[in-house]
Chains A and B, each alone.
Chain A
Amino acid sequence: DGGITQSPKYLFRKEGQNVTLSCEQNLNHDAMYWYRQDPGQGLRLIYYSQIVNDFQKGDIAEGYSVSREKKESFPLTVTSAQKNPTAFYLCASSIASVYNEQFFGPGTRLTVL
């Protein structure tokens, strides 16, 4: 089955701890994205990557970091510098660029206690 996987589905962390969210795709897509979804806020872009070893900041990159060492993987680290990290995080991928259909993973719901 082709698709995007995110793990875990639910994640709990203590305040002040860094946490890394996993995103893997086997669609052979070049572009990958991370979004944050809060109630009533829609989807806000955190980071995106159009090619391995390259990525760009989105609208709300502060307090987050990413890496793109492999085409299939785009992990997101939520650092202790992120002031309000509790949210639903969605990973997506697309062919070549942001102007193609984006395929979303099932999401990770992060709760910081």
Chain B
Amino acid sequence: GQQVMQIPQYQHVQEGEDFTTYCNSSTTLSNIQWYKQRPGGHPVFLIQLVKSGEVKKQKRLTFQFGEAKKNSSLHITATQTTDVGTYFCAGGSGGADGLTFGKGTHLIIQP
């Protein structure tokens, strides 16, 4: 079945540094979604990408979908303590199998 791999598993940064998490699928995706889960909380939807090469921005967050629609990335510029949490990507293949989530990247910020 479809596999979605996400790296790194953990990322420690100093406040103000940039952060990037990468997502790679074993198959071509029809869409990819990104979620954020704060410690002790539940995942919250951030964005969805559907077009090849698509780039979307939300303030300090930049999301990209690869040309081949098999990879994606989330980049945060100048991290803040409010960015702490786990970031998940979730890919869809266009079939009836639902979304497949990556294992997530835990972002830890040191003040």
Contacts and interface: CB of A to CB of B under 8 A. Distances in A.
Given A90-B42, A107-B42, A101 B33 contact: yes
Contacts of A40: 9, 103
B101 A42 contact: yes
Interface stretch (A10-18, A43-51, A62-70, A73-81): A43-51
A53 interface: no
A18 to B, nearest CB: 25
A68 B92 CA distance: 23
Interface residues of A, number: 23
B11 to A, nearest CB: 14
B30 interface: yes
23 contacts: A35-B101, A40-B103, A41-B103, A42-B101, A43-B43, A43-B90, A43-B101, A44-B101, A45-B98, A45-B99, A45-B101, A56-B96, A90-B42, A90-B43, A92-B43, A98-B92, A99-B30, A101-B33, A101-B48, A102-B35, A102-B43, A104-B43, A106-B42
